[in-house]
Amino acid sequence: MRKILLITGASAGIGAATARKAARAGYDIALNYHSNIDGAKAVMAEAQSAGARVILCPGDVADPEAIADIFARIDKEFGRLDALVNNAGVVDTVASVTDFTHARLRRMFDINVIGAMLIAKEAVVRMQKQGPEQGQRGAIVNTSSIAARLGSGHTFVDYAASKAAIDTFTKGLSDEVAPDGIRVNAVRPGIIETDIHAKAGAPERVEQITPSIPLRRSGHADEVADAILYLLSDQASYITGTTLDVSGGR
Ligand code: NAP
């Protein structure tokens, strides 16, 4: 039986790479995106051609009503949820803490933290109700960042702090739901070649940071997707509450 996987932020970058690989690995997919419908449709077509059933679940994860709509659609179309990749996230323009505004912080934490927590909550509520498959009721992977331990001074401390919240949430939630047979882990990407850097107005960051990466190169979205799919899989059946750095040693 194909497992049902919700991926947030799957219209581009790491989420899109995860959707493509998940389809080939045997998942059916609820594919969330916010504004990039063309990207979402292209990913959907590729996943379908790999044999997956795919439903599009548009919605801003910062909006609780949109989250309710996403899960209503999953309930109606699939009737269960086996896995979640809690991946939607944003950075902002490079700035020091002295330049931060309330509006900037609100957006950052509404999307990266509160949205991710509410999505995980809705997933867990469903996983707890369904019967276990081979002893496992569900698996969740949150997308954090190595910024959580670097702090990102003078670039985006707010983003780093939002990802530190995700690390702590990952550990705390995993403790709460492990007895139910639900595993919760996080990946912490380093510098990965996606559009997120250009969206932050700093496409040059990838090149600038590369010399400080022990492996001397940036990462690819597919390499993060491989780590995510491993943590979701039965090969990771004894792993929960942990964060896995996918950062070339940085
Ligand atoms: P990306 O290429 O910019 O893709 C971001 C995805 O998130 C898009 O599908 C976007 O959807 C979606 N998204 C953004 N805001 C959303 C919202 N409010 N509601 C729903 N979806 C939303 O970025 P990426 O590099 O793949 O990043 C994915 C995750 O990895 C993020 O959590 C990011 O913080 C983390 N990460 C990335 C790096 C890196 O170097 N790339 C490093 C560490 C961590 P639309 O385009 O449809 O709006």
- CATH number, domain with residue 170: 3.40.50.720
Catalytic positions are: 159
Residue among 95, 90, 83 at smallest CA distance from 27? 83
96: CA distance to ligand 1 center in Å? 22
Q: Which ligand 1 atom sits nearest the alpha carbon of residue 91?
A: 34
Per-residue DSSP letter, 195: T
- Work out the average pLDDT over 51-79: 98
Q: Which ligand 1 atom sits nearest the alpha carbon of residue 191?
A: 40
Q: Give the model's confidence band at 136: pLDDT under 50 very low, under 70 low, under 90 confident, else very high.
A: confident
The total number of structural domains that make up the chain? 1
Query: How far apart are alpha carbons 28 and 82 in whole angstroms?
Result: 10
47: CA distance to ligand 1 center in Å? 19
- Work out the average pLDDT over 134-163: 95
Q: Which of 21, 56, 90 to mutate to test the pocket of ligand 1 (most atoms within 8 A of CB)?
A: 90
Q: Which amino acid is at 220?
A: H
1: CA distance to ligand 1 center in Å? 30
- Work out the average pLDDT over 200-212: 93
* Pocket residues: Cβ below 6 A from ligand 1: 8-15, 32-36, 60-62, 87-90, 111, 143, 145, 189, 191-192, 194-196, 199
Quick one: pLDDT at residue 1? 87
pLDDT tens-place string over residues 10-60: 999 999 999 999 999 999 999 999 999 999 999 999 999 999 999 999 999
Residue nearest to atom 10 of ligand 1 (CA): 9
194: CA distance to ligand 1 center in Å? 9
Q: Give the model's confidence band at 134: pLDDT under 50 very low, under 70 low, under 90 confident, else very high.
A: low
Residue nearest to atom 3 of ligand 1 (CA): 196
Q: Which of 194, 199, 222 to mutate to test the pocket of ligand 1 (most atoms within 8 A of CB)?
A: 194
Residue among 92, 59, 43, 111 at smallest CA distance from 196? 92
Q: Which ligand 1 atom sits nearest the alpha carbon of residue 110?
A: 18
Q: Which helix (H) or strand (E) holds 123?
A: helix 116-129
Residue 143 and residue 189 in contact, taking contact as beta carbons nearer than 8 Å: yes
Residue 133 has pLDDT above 80, yes or no: no
Structure tokens at 26: 């045997």
87: CA distance to ligand 1 center in Å? 7
- Cα radius of gyration rounded to whole Å, the chain: 17
Residue nearest to atom 44 of ligand 1 (CA): 145
Q: Tell me the residue range of the domain where 92 lies.
A: 3-246
Q: Which ligand 1 atom sits nearest the alpha carbon of residue 219?
A: 40
Q: Which amino acid is at 168?
A: T
Q: Count of CB atoms within 10 A of residue 131's CB?
A: 7
- Work out the average pLDDT over 156-178: 98
